[in-house]
């Protein structure tokens, strides 16, 4: 019936960051431990963006790198640590000593961040959640407010609940395993809050391990976490989530996570690292090549294929 007229939204990372990330923008980078859009963060550093507000649940290595490169003036996050592998050196210098400059920090909890994305995606003025009662967080984050329920609580009395406001990033960037050229994006393994972060954004860039033919995506439409209508650009960038992982593609580089505590603690080492690995590479392909095939062999994963399901065909 319908003729194929899908729009090709593929572009290079340089083009995507050039087109969709501007100085002063609010930029969401999502991916909960899995599929962290590191390569996109590196390209933002290469292009020298300034004054960004970064929104990210787990502000980890890529955020520390963007902070060190001077891209970020405000951070909205619920966890500012290097996973369980130590501290983020630059972040701590910025927050504890305003060194080399202050960092505005809006602190949330994980679910608070999730609810902000949901509210943003669903165009809601606020989202209620059963967190924060008695916490000191609302005292340092005036965006956490209370609403009285119009229904009586279990005890018949009126009931209060905290709410958080929507977040609507200028652009959300996520990493995924695969997409078609028009942006139908398939993710498996941990899916985090990526779909909500994309729907909340004015523009969305999806970075993928690979572009696949339409038939691959359409063989399993339930696997499409982000439909094409929510996507503005598709960037092919294999291994773009390193040092995090891409389920079924490559494993997590735990050694790098552990190393980051030391690198980031020493500003000179950190600066040298950025010079060598980010400014010193033209793009992520060079970064990948510089790490070398032997390195990547160490993160290779074997096969554990899903069993197919039948979507059925009218006879």
Find the binding residues for other proteins in span 129-148 (CB under 8 A).
129-137, 140, 146
Residue 113 Cβ vs its own copies, minimum distance, rounded to whole Å: 16
Out of 14, 47, 74, 79, the only residue in the binding site for other proteins (CB under 8 A) is 79
Out of 7, 145, 147, 289, the only residue in the binding site for other proteins (CB under 8 A) is 7
Find the binding residues for other proteins in span 287-306 (CB under 8 A).
301, 304
Which DSSP category does 307 fall into? Answer: P
**Gyration radius of the chain over CA positions:** 21
**Binding region for other proteins (CB under 8 A) out of 48-56, 62-70, 220-228, 271-279:** 220-228
Strand partners, 26: 53
Enter the tokens of residue 307: 């069993």
| 3-state secondary structure at position 126 | coil
| CA 44-19-112 angle, 5° bins | 60
Find the binding residues for its own copies in span 138-177 (CB under 8 A).
145-151, 153, 159, 161, 163, 165, 177
Residue 280 Cβ vs other proteins, minimum distance, rounded to whole Å: 29
Out of 13, 54, 217, 270, the only residue in the binding site for other proteins (CB under 8 A) is 217
Report if residue 238 touches other proteins, rule: CB under 8 A: no
CB 200 within 8 A of CB 120: yes
Nearest alpha-carbon partner for 35 in 238, 289, 285: 238
Residue 185 Cβ vs its own copies, minimum distance, rounded to whole Å: 13
Among its own copies, other proteins, none, the one that 108 touches (CB under a kind-dependent 5 to 8 A) is other proteins
Report if residue 130 touches its own copies, rule: CB under 8 A: yes
**How far, in Å, CA of 276 to CA of 288, rounded?**
13
Among its own copies, other proteins, none, the one that 104 touches (CB under a kind-dependent 5 to 8 A) is none
**How far, in Å, CA of 209 to CA of 213, rounded?**
13
Strand partners, 30: 174
Among other proteins, its own copies, none, the one that 216 touches (CB under a kind-dependent 5 to 8 A) is its own copies
- State which residue, 250 or 287, has the beta carbon closest to its own copies: 250
CB 51 within 8 A of CB 43: no
Nearest alpha-carbon partner for 43 in 148, 175, 150: 175
**Binding region for its own copies (CB under 8 A) out of 41-49, 59-67, 117-125, 228-236:** 117-125
Report if residue 32 touches other proteins, rule: CB under 8 A: yes
Residues 6+ apart with CB under 8 A from 243: 38, 61, 252, 253, 256, 257, 260
x/- site string to other proteins, residues 259 to 288, per CB under 8 A? ------------------------------
Residue 31 Cβ vs its own copies, minimum distance, rounded to whole Å: 16
**How far, in Å, CA of 31 to CA of 198, rounded?**
11
Extended strands (E) in 85-144: 104-107, 127-129
| CA 163-168-170 angle, 5° bins | 160
| Residues lying near its own copies in the complex (CB under 8 A) | 123-130, 145-151, 153, 159, 161, 163, 165, 177, 186, 188-189, 191, 216, 219-220, 222-223, 247-249, 251, 300-315
């Amino acid at each position: 019936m319908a003729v194929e007229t899908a729009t090709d939204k593929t572009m290079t990372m340089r083009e995507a960051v050039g087109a969709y990330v501007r100085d002063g923008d609010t930029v969401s980078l999502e991916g909960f431990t899995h599929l962290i859009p590191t390569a996109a963060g590196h390209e933002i550093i290469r292009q020298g963006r300034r004054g960004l507000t970064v929104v990210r649940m787990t502000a980890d290595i890529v955020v520390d790198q963007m902070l060190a490169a001077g891209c970020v003036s405000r951070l909205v996050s619920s966890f500012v640590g290097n996973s369980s592998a130590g501290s983020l050196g630059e972040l701590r210098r910025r927050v504890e000593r305003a060194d080399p400059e202050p960092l505005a920090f809006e602190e949330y909890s994980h679910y608070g961040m999730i609810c902000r994305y949901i509210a943003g995606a669903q165009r809601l003025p606020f989202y209620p959640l059963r967190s924060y009662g008695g916490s000191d967080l609302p005292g340092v984050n005036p965006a956490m407010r209370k609403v009285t329920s119009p229904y009586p609580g279990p005890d018949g009395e009126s009931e209060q609940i905290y709410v958080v406001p929507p977040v609507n990033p200028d652009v959300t960037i996520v990493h995924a395993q695969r997409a078609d050229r028009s942006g139908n994006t398939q993710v498996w393994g941990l899916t985090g809050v990526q779909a909500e972060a994309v729907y909340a954004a004015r523009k969305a860039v999806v970075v993928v391990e690979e572009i696949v033919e339409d038939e691959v995506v359409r063989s399993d439409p339930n696997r499409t976490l982000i439909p094409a209508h929510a996507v503005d650009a598709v960037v092919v960038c294999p291994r773009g989530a390193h040092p995090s992982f891409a389920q079924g593609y490559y494993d997590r580089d735990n050694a790098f996570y552990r190393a980051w505590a030391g690198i980031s603690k020493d500003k000179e080492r950190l600066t040298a690292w950025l010079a060598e690995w980010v400014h010193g590479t033209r793009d992520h392909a060079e970064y990948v090549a510089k790490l070398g095939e032997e390195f990547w062999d160490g993160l290779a994963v074997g096969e554990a294929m899903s069993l197919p399901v039948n979507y059925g065909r009218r006879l």
